[in-house]
Structure 1
């Protein structure tokens, strides 16, 4: 379906304005917008594109996590309205998504169990108790509206404004090498060096895809499917039945 307009109010209805600024990465030189989704190989993808942006001047990547060090621009740095940037602008627009089951578990293992992280603090404030388990986490986040969710567990279709924007490509975490290769070739017109995927650049590797049966009950699987149904349907992920 062709989308025709997007306003600031529409963005704020599904996600925090600060998250829109932090996770919308614009290259004016190479004419693309990368809509980053937390817990979807974001560090690996960013590292690749940061290095590609810096390659002509042979500069090193200073930080993947501080937006002030990014060679890609945020919307607030550009003289465009959301409609001018996201709809009318001649940019290659792409994002990467992940199976909601493994993404949520990865977030729990990485961010929520790390009590000093912002996502953990936000979750524990919403839960209003200090002791919790994975079932508590799933129950809380599945009740939240997308605009109140932390970006690490926000419904991905809302996080990337999928229902407002015509994307040129949606890649998948589960097919990262092939899909990132496609995006790279489309933007830069050069062969993709798969060696960039050889390292894990996330602060903490969780191997969540291999632990679904260990943490999920059928009730939790059903809760996630119901709350994140748009992600399953839009991006072609299957409901798990134990």
Structure 2
């Protein structure tokens, strides 16, 4: 069985989260044979793919996703697979594509998710009394700690372990939000895109390094995201 043409996989013009019928049919065919052929990635990821610029971007929610997408849109970088959610992908077809992702200090990311999805919006559809309690970040952290943050699907993408959102065995470059300008400039050079934008757009709240953080919150986040701290080398200690 030959590798499918990578350009076969595109998202629908009217729905950037779903593959075209032709792409989905091919993915379904590969899924049936996956156990024996190993054609597909063992795990599913949130993917954005450009065939013209030959890259696969493992999207990590709350880590400059709007900034990167906006930069591509405004600089002529076609996103053929735009916002595919929780999909396995044919490994051989993208073996020569540049793969990248961006990560963020787990404490900062968690506070940002809480501020955006709880304080500013009731994204998780809490009842009024529960939503009122969740205005305290520690309360939200206790609720989050009851979930399996490595489960995909099963855990909201804004809270999932960053290390689970990236195919760590096949990623060429992992940038950091803390050094975004420098790291994204390198990505742009690798994919042949114009110069880097000046600042991430989706920093919705000051993070753990810029605000007073309770010992309880730091301990809860450390327990929940210990693998992220270990994999990406972020410090577990307060600055």
Q: TM-score, normalised by structure 2?
A: 0.70
Cα deviation for residue 6 of structure 1 reads 7.6
Q: Is the 8 A contact 1:6 1:82 kept in 2?
A: no
Partners in 2 of 1:183 and 1:25 — Cα distance?
14
Cross-structure match for 1:65: none
CA–CA separation in structure 2 for the residues paired with 1:75 and 1:241: 35
Specify the SS of the correspondent of 1:130. Answer: helix
Stretches of structure 2 lacking an aligned partner (at least 5 in a row): 1-37
Deviations 1:202-225 (A, max 9, x none): 3x7323255442xx2112211211
Q: 3-state DSSP class of the match of 2:145?
A: helix
Shift of 1:9: 6.2
In the alignment, what sits opposite 1:170? 174
3-state SS of paired residue (2:90): helix
What residue is the counterpart of 1:142 in the other structure? 145
CA distance in 2 between counterparts of 1:171 and 1:96 reads 5
* Distance in 2, Cα, partners of 1:71 & 1:112: 30
Greater helix share, 1 or 2?
A: 1
SS in 1 for 2:228: helix
- How far is 1:25 from its partner? 0.2
Alpha-carbon distance, 1:139 to partner:
1.1
Q: Which runs of 5+ in 1 are unaligned?
A: 12-19, 55-69
Match of 1:236 in 2: 233
Task: Quote the Cα distance in structure 1 between the aligned partners of 2:69 and 2:41.
Answer: 25
In structure 2, the CA distance between the partners of 1:86 and 1:107, relative to structure 1 (3 Å rule), is farther
Q: Secondary structure at the match of 2:132?
A: coil
Aligned length: 197
Alpha-carbon contact 1:35-1:95 (below 8 Å) kept: yes
- 1:224–1:136 distance in 2 versus 1, CA, 3 Å: same
Is residue 2:47 matched to residue 1:49?
Answer: no
Q: Provide the rounded CA distance (Å) in 2 between the counterparts of 1:158 and 1:29.
A: 27
Secondary structure (helix, strand or coil) at the match of 2:100 reads: strand
CA contact (8 A) 1:142 1:223 kept: yes
98-107 or 220-229, larger mean C-alpha shift = 220-229
